[in-house]
Amino acid sequence: MSKMDDLEKRLINEPKKSGTDHVLLHFFLGLILLAAGIFMITKNTYVGMNWYQWRFGGLGIPTGVIILPLLVGIGLLFFNGKSIIGWIVTVIGAVIVILSIILSVEVRFSTTNLYTFIIMFGCTFAGAGLLLRSLFKK
């Protein structure tokens, strides 16, 4: 048997690869599409701040007052570092401040035409689908 016959047998017996075996190509194409879609979405999104005002019943609390629990808690901790009440008041004050910052963020999507909207979200979801396909391929 010659070397050519051996090569022919290996080529004939080797399973044919289909077009769906391009995992690396799907991964990078998905990554590019996902990045392009997210870029276009973030380019058409505006983020602003509008200071959130806490309300209890019909009474609005001024924004500077929300820092008072945090300051009182810090003062209690400096007075007695082992004070459980000081820690509780400090944590509650910090949570109130963080919540007021998060609640004051305003996210708006700019007006766009349907074609741009479909391209933005189409690229994002197509890229995510290709990425997931390449990552979870059996």
The per-residue pLDDT for range 53-95, each reduced to its tens digit, is 667 677 777 777 788 989 999 999 999 988 899 999 999 999 9
pLDDT at 77: 93
Q: Phi first, then psi: what are they for 119, rounded to 5°? A: -65, -45
Higher pLDDT, 99 or 138: 99
Predicted TM-score of the model (pTM) = 0.56
pLDDT at 61: 72
Written as six digits, the tokens of 97 are: 């401040």
CA atoms within 13 A on the CB side of 7: 3
